[in-house]
Structure 1
C-alpha cells in the first residue's frame, strides 16, 4: 500500500470526526506512517495523542515515509537569507519501538524534539501532505527533525526557540548547571542509594538536560558569533530565575544561527570579502543536532537531530550522469530513541562499577526516519542515491551494512552498491573505483558518520534486506545488544517495469575539486601531535578523558595558528569501546589505521592517495589480550595492552575562532572526552578559553 493512498471505507463517513481521526491515527501508526499522509493540517491539530495508536509489535516492511524538507530559494537581494526557518524545542510523549529484554515493545517516553516551520509559514517541501506547514505533524511518533536542503553560497537563518516546559521534563537536578543525580534501590535495606554523580564534577558530568543549542555537523563555516557556535547555552523559556541571554540575543530562550555556506575557492570569504576562500564547503550529506555539553547524549537520544543537505557541483555532475537522480533520492536518518541515560551497575552489586559506564535507557531499536525496518521500492535496473546519517550516540551503533537476499534459498539476490561520499565529502575517482571503498558491497558507519551510496536494483523482481553486524560487539556492563535482534535496517523491494540505467565509471565520475587536493591548498606544516583517548588520571569514576584530563574549560584545549596544517595520531586506550573522533569546522584526511583486534595481516592499514576526507572516524578499540580485572590471563600476568590508533592530517584555514573536538559516543563527550580548539591569528596573543555562555 502506498503511503499516500490510504483509503477509508465509505461507511466511515458516518463515524464522528474524532472517531475518524482515531481510526486513521491507529491505521497510520500500524503502517509506520505519519498522520500527514492521511489527514489535512486542520485535522492534525485536533488529532488525539492516544497510546492506542502504537501497536505492541509495530509491523516492519511498510513504505519508507520521507521527512519533510526546508528547501532554500533564490534570495530577493544578495544580502537576504536563502532559507529562514523556526526550530522550536518542545517536549512530548512519543511511542517508541524498544526491546526491553522482552521482545519488541512500543513504550511511551517523554522526550524532547524539534518542531520546525518556514519563517513565512509556507508549506514544507517533499511532504506526504502538500498542505503541511509544520514538522512533525504528530509529535507522538518518533523521528528526526525536518531536513534542511540548501546550496553552497546560500545564507541560512535558523531561529532556535527553547520552549521546553521544565515542569513537564524535570531534570534530576533542578539547577541546570549542576550535575544530575540518579538514585537506585538497595534491596538489602529497602532504601535508596546514590548512583550518580559519584565524584564527577562540573562542567564534565551529565547536566543541563533542558538547556540546548544547535551544531551544524559537517559545515565549514565560522564557529563564532551566529555561526556554528556550540559555546552558547539556550535555556528553556520557563527557567526560573531568568538566566542571562546568549551573546547578541535579547532573550535567554532563543538564539539565531545566521551564516553563509561558502562557495568554493577562489570565492570571497563570507566573513571578509577581501580574502579568498582556501577551502570550500563540501556539498554533501551533513546534519544538525543539539550540542550542549553535558546533555548532548540525552538530547540526541531523545531525537534532536536531522539531515542537512548541501548541494553543489558534485550533485549537478551526478544529475547529468544519471538524469532524475534527485527525484528518487532517499534521505535516511538512523536513530535510536530513548528517554534517559542510565548508570550501569556491577553484575554483583547495586553500585556502579569503575570505570562508571552509561547506556541508553529503554534498549531502543534502530529506526529509519522514525520507522522500524521500512521498505524502499525500486524498479528492476533502477539507480537511486541513498543518503544515510548515523544520528545515534552509543557504541552498539557502530555497524557494518550489506545486502542479503530475503529468500534464504537465494541469498545472492542483492543490488549493486557504489559508495560515492563519506561524511558528506565526495570520493576521488580513484577511491570510487577502489574495492575497499567505492566498489565494496558493504559500508561501515560509526555514530556521527554519513555515507552516500548509489544503489542499482537487480534486473528481476524480488526482495533483499540491508543487514548489519556489530563491528566491535556490544558494550560492557549490561548494555543489551539491541541491534542484534532482527539485524536489518530496511527492505528493498524490486517491482514493476525494468529500466536501463548505468552507474558512473571511474572515467566519468565527478573529479575531485582542486581545493580537496592536499597540495593545492598551501599551508605551513606544524609538528605532529598525539591525543590519547583514555581515562581521567586519579578520577574515582575513571571518567572518559583525553590525555588523562576531562574537559574543564580552563586548560583542556588545542591551539592552531590560521593557515597551518598538522598530523594527529589518535590513540585509543580502551579495550571496551571505540571512540569516534570528530572535530568541528575543518575536515581531515585519513592516512593510517591500526586495529589490534584484526588478524595480523590486516591490523595496520596504510591508506592510498588521494586520501579520503572525513570529519568523524572510529578509533579502533585497544586489545587487552583477554586480561582480567587484575591484569592476568589464566592466572599469569598478561601482556601489555595494545592500543588502537588512527593517523590523520588536517588544515586550519579560512575561519578563526573557537570550537571543539571530541568522542562522538556522546556520553563520553558529556563526561569529559572533549577538548576546546582555538584557531588564532599568529600576529596576536592567543585568546583566552571560552566556556559556555
Structure 2
C-alpha cells in the first residue's frame, strides 16, 4: 500500500475525486504479549474456547435517556466530548470519547450530569416516519486531554499517519507488525461524524454524510452557530433544503472558512507551527471540493444534520439530492423500526465505538409500531444496544481477549416481567467485532419446554417481517447461516413470559448468545414474578402486513456484480485491494436493480457486509458446504454476515434497488477493525438522466 501522497492510480472502473488527507499522529506503547502476538500474527477474529457461565442475574437493565420528536420535529443537540470512565472489570478510570445529548424542548441531558461512573451509549433518539430530523452536532473533544496517549495528534509530519505502538526495545508492534499503512490503519480518533445506520435518506450534505470529517473545537460556543442552524432547519421544513455549500447561510460558511484557516495557520509541521504544506491544508481543499461540485468534507466544531425521514404513505413526499434539479416523488420510504447511529470516520471507527460512541434511533410508523401496540395494549418496549468497551482496539495492544459484551453499558443486566406478559425487545448489535447468534432462553433447573419464555422475531435490521416470514421465523438459530446477529444487525423480538406454577413465586431465565467460534453464554437475564397478565403473541393472520414499498423486488436486475472479501495474509481487502482514497469502486444508476454475489475467502472469520442508504434482500447464502435459498416473501436487511470459507468460499447473493437518492457513500465489513484497516469501498449512485446530448 502506498502513502497518501501516492494515491493517484486509477483502477478499472475507478474515478479520481478530491479527497482530504487525514490527520497524522503517533502513540508509543507496548507489552511483551503484544510482541508475541504481532510476531505470530494472531487475528482478532479468533475467539478463545468459551467458558460456560452460570445463570447469575445482574442489575436491572439501565434505561437510556430518550430524545423524542414532537410536532413532527426531532430537535436535539448531540455532541462528542471527553469523559472519565472506568471500563468494565477495570480498576482505574480512563479518558475516553463519548456522545452526549440534550433535548431542545425539555432541556433533559444524557448522560445525567451526576452520572460519573457508568459506561453509557449515546441517547436514544425516537421519531416517526415523516418527521424532520434537526440535530445540532458539536465536536468538543479536547485533544490535549489525552496527552501522548491521545491517539489524535494534529498532522505534524513526524510520522506516517498511523497510530504507532512500539516496544521499549524499538520493535514496532503497530502498524508494522500487522502490515498496515495510511490511510488503512487506526488514526484520526478525535475527528468525528455520525452515520444514521438503516436510514433511507440522502448520503450527501446535511443527511447521512459519512464523508464528513468534523475536527474538534472545544472553544466553539453553541450560540455562535445556533441561529444559522435554525435557519437551515426552517428551510428544510419548507421543502427547500440546502443542496450544496453555496446554499448555506453566508455567516456560517464565513465562520467555517475562518476556523479552517486558523487551523491551517496554527498546525505544527515537523515541530514548526504554521509550516503546514499546502497539500495538507484544509481550506484549499475545501475550495477545491466546492469547485468540483462536492460538499466539502472537513468542517470544524459544529455541523447541522437536517433531513426529513421519508414517509412513503404521504402522497406529497419527495426525495431531494444535490444532483436533481428539483425534488422527485418517492419510490421507496423509510422502514419504521429499530435503527441506530454511530461515529464513522475511516481509521477511527473501531476505537470510538470501543469508547461507546453509538446510540439507538427508533423510527415509529403506522404500519409497524402502531399496529403492534393496537394488537397488544400496554405493550412495554425494552430498547437495548449491545456494545464492547476498551481504551484501544485490543489487537494493537497485544490482547487476544474479546471485550465483554454489555447491554446498555451493563454486563448481564436483568429485565423483569410478569407471568403471561409480552414485551417488545429492540436489540442493536453495536459491538465492534462480535458475530453472535441468539440461542434462546434457558433456566438453571430442569424445566419443561412450555415453561420457558416464548419469543418471536418481528423485524430484521429495522424492517418488519411479512406475516408469512413472521410465521416461518427464518432467523432462528440453527444451521441456517441467516441467523447471525452480526455487528450492525438489529432484531426486534416479541417475548412472552411463561406462566408460573402456584408454588413458584418467581423464576429466572438467561437469554444465551454465541459469538463466532465460541459456545453459548448469557447476554441478559429475564426474571418473572408478580400478578399474571393475559397477553397473546400475534399469529400470521393478524400480524401487521408490511407496506407496499417493502414487497419483494421482482424487477429484472440490470447488472450482476461479484465482490470478494479477503484477508489472505495481506490484511483486510475487498477485490484484492485496500480502500483507495479518491476512487470510486462501484457506480450504480439511480432506480436500477442489481444482483451482487459477495464472496468470503477468509477461513477464520465471517465478514458482515453493510451498505448505506438502501437495504437489500438475500436470495441465497452458501456456508462453504450447503446452499440455502431464501423463500419468498424475503426479509430485508442492510447487513449480512458472509460465511467464512470452509470446503469452499462462503458467499451471499443479494438483490437491491438504488431508489430515491443519488450521492456518494460506502460499503464495508462491519467488523470495524477490518473496515478501518481497508475492507471498505467508496461507491456512488448517479442519476440516469443527463444533460449531455449527441445529435
TM-score (norm 2): 0.74
Q: What corresponds to 2:94 in structure 1?
A: 109
CA–CA distance in structure 2, aligned partners of residues 298 and 648 of structure 1: 30
CA 519–303 in structure 1, closer or farther in 2 if over 3 Å, else same: closer
Could you tell me whether the CA contact under 8 Å between 2:212 and 2:298 is conserved in 1?
no
Counterpart Cα distance in 2 of 1:161 and 1:401: 40
Query: Paired residue for 2:375?
Result: 321
Give the superposition deviation at 1:422: 0.2
Correspondence 1:194 to 2:154: no
Per-residue CA shift, 1:636-664, capped at 9, x if unaligned?
Answer: xxxxx611100000000100001110000
Cα 1:665/1:320, change in 2 over 3 Å: same
- Among 452, 473, 479, the residue aligned to 2:517: 473
- For residues 262-310 of structure 1, the C-alpha deviation after alignment (integer angstroms, 9 at most, x for no partner) is 0015442142775211111000000000000110011111100000000
Query: 236-245 vs 383-392, which deviates more?
Result: 236-245
**Aligned residue number for residue 56 of structure 1:** none
Q: Structure 1: how far apart are the matches of 2:691 and 2:666?
A: 20
Task: State how many pairs are aligned.
Answer: 549
Q: Aligned residue for 2:329? A: 276
2:641 corresponds to which residue?
Answer: 618
Q: 1:297 aligns with which of 350, 368, 374?
A: 350
Q: Which moved more, 1:428-437 or 1:145-154?
A: 428-437
Structure 1 residues 179-211: Cα deviation after superposition (integer angstroms, max 9, x where no partner): 3233343xxxx6121122225332222110111
Distance 1:681 1:570 in 2: 25
1:168 match: secondary structure: helix
1:346-370 superposed Cα distances (whole Å, 9 cap, x missing partner): xxxxxxxxxxxx868x742111111
Gap change, CA 1:108 and 1:257, over 3 Å in 2? same
How far apart are 1:678 and its partner, in Å?
A: 0.6
Between 1 and 2, higher relative CO (CA 8 Å, sep ≥ 6) is seen in 2
Determine which of 441, 449, 459 is the counterpart of 2:499.
459
Confirm or deny that 1:209 pairs with 2:189.
yes
The structure that is helix-richer by fraction is 2
TM-score by length of 1: 0.74
2:552 is aligned, of 501, 507, 518, to 518
CA distance in 1, matches of 2:660, 2:371: 26
Assess if the C-alpha contact under 8 Å between 1:413 and 1:462 holds in 2: no
**Who is 1:428 aligned against?**
466
Distance in structure 2 (CA, Å) of the matches to 1:304 and 1:492: 27
- Tell me what 1:608 maps to: 631
Query: Which residue in 1 is equivalent to 2:214?
Result: 234
Gaps in structure 1 of 5+ consecutive residues: 1-58, 76-81, 99-104, 125-131, 346-357, 475-483, 624-640, 687-693
Cα deviations by residue, 1:513-548 (Å, 9 ceiling, x for unpaired): 11111358xx67312101000148xxxx61211100
Closer/same/farther in 2, CA of residues 339 and 176 from structure 1, 3 Å limit:
farther
* Residue aligning to 2:306: 258
Structure 1 residues 429-448: Cα deviation after superposition (integer angstroms, max 9, x where no partner): 11100043479999641111
Equivalent of 2:164 in 171, 175, 182: 182
Alpha-carbon distance in structure 2 between the residues aligned to 1:433 and 1:518: 17
CA distance in 2, matches of 1:248, 1:181: 26
Match of 1:445 in 2: 485
What is the aligned partner in structure 2 of residue 42 from structure 1?
A: none
Match of 2:138 among 152, 155, 161: 161
SS at match of 1:400: strand
- Give SS of 1:433's match: helix
Q: Measured at CA, do residues 172 and 330 of structure 1 come closer, stay the same or move farther in structure 2, by a change above 3 Å? A: closer
> 2:129·2:309 contact (CA, 8 Å) conserved in 1?
yes
Gaps of 5+ in 2: 1-55, 219-262, 268-280, 287-294, 501-505
Looking at structure 2, the residues matched to 452 and 380 of structure 1 have their Cα atoms a distance apart, in angstroms, of: 21
Between 1:267-276 and 1:136-145, the stretch displaced more is 267-276
Instruction: Give 1:33-48 correspondences, 5 Å limit.
Output: none
CA contact (8 A) 1:172 1:180 kept: no
Q: Are the counterparts in 2 of residues 176 and 209 from structure 1 also a CA contact under 8 Å? A: no
Q: Is the 8 A contact 2:451 2:499 kept in 1?
A: no
Distance 2:603 2:297 in 1: 45
1:131-142 equivalent positions in 2, closer than 5 A: 135=112, 137-142=114-119
> Aligned-pair distance for 1:60?
4.8
Would the aligned equivalents of 2:351 and 2:391 in 1 still touch at CA under 8 Å? yes
Contact 2:610 2:670 in 1 (8 A): yes
Alpha-carbon distance in structure 2 between the residues aligned to 1:145 and 1:173: 22
Take 1:209 and 1:567, find their aligned partners in 2: how far apart are those partners? 35
State the partner residue of 2:28.
none
Structure 1 residue aligned with 2:250: none
The whole-number CA distance in structure 1 between the counterparts of 2:94 and 2:603 is 33
CA offset at residue 110 of structure 1? 2.3
Question: What CA distance in whole angstroms lies between the structure 1 residues aligned with 2:493 and 2:113?
Answer: 27
Query: Which residue does the alignment assign to 1:72?
Result: 69
CA contact (8 A) 1:386 1:455 kept: yes
Distance between the aligned counterparts of 1:220 and 1:176, measured in 2?
A: 35
In structure 1, distance between residues paired with 2:348 and 2:162: 10
CA distance in 1 between counterparts of 2:162 and 2:302 reads 24
Inter-partner Cα distance in structure 2 for 1:438 and 1:173: 42
Residue aligned with 2:162, SS = coil
Q: Which residue of 2 aligns with 1:552?
A: 580
Between the aligned partners of 2:564 and 2:399, the Cα distance in structure 1 is: 23
Q: 1:581 to 1:513 in 2, by over 3 A?
A: same
1:400 to 2:432 alignment = no
Task: Please provide the CA RMSD for this pair.
Answer: 2.8
User: Residue 420 of structure 2 corresponds to which residue in structure 1?
Assistant: 381
Cα contact 2:439–2:477 (8 A) shared by 1: no
Change (3 A) 1:420 1:267: farther
User: Are 2:554 and 1:505 equivalent residues in the alignment?
Assistant: no
Q: Contact between 1:344 and 1:359, CA under 8 Å: does it hold in 2?
A: yes
1:418/1:439 contact within 8 Å kept: no
Does residue 336 of the first structure (1) align with residue 388 of the second (2)?
Answer: yes
Compute the displacement of 1:155 (Å): 0.6
Work out which of the residue numbers 56, 76, 87 in structure 2 matches 1:96.
Answer: 87
| SS class of match (2:170) | strand
Change (3 A) 1:412 1:506: closer
Matched residue SS, 1:489: strand
Q: Of 658, 670, 675, which residue of structure 1 is paired with 2:681?
A: 675
Deviations 1:163-192 (A, max 9, x none): 11111124446245953233343xxxx612
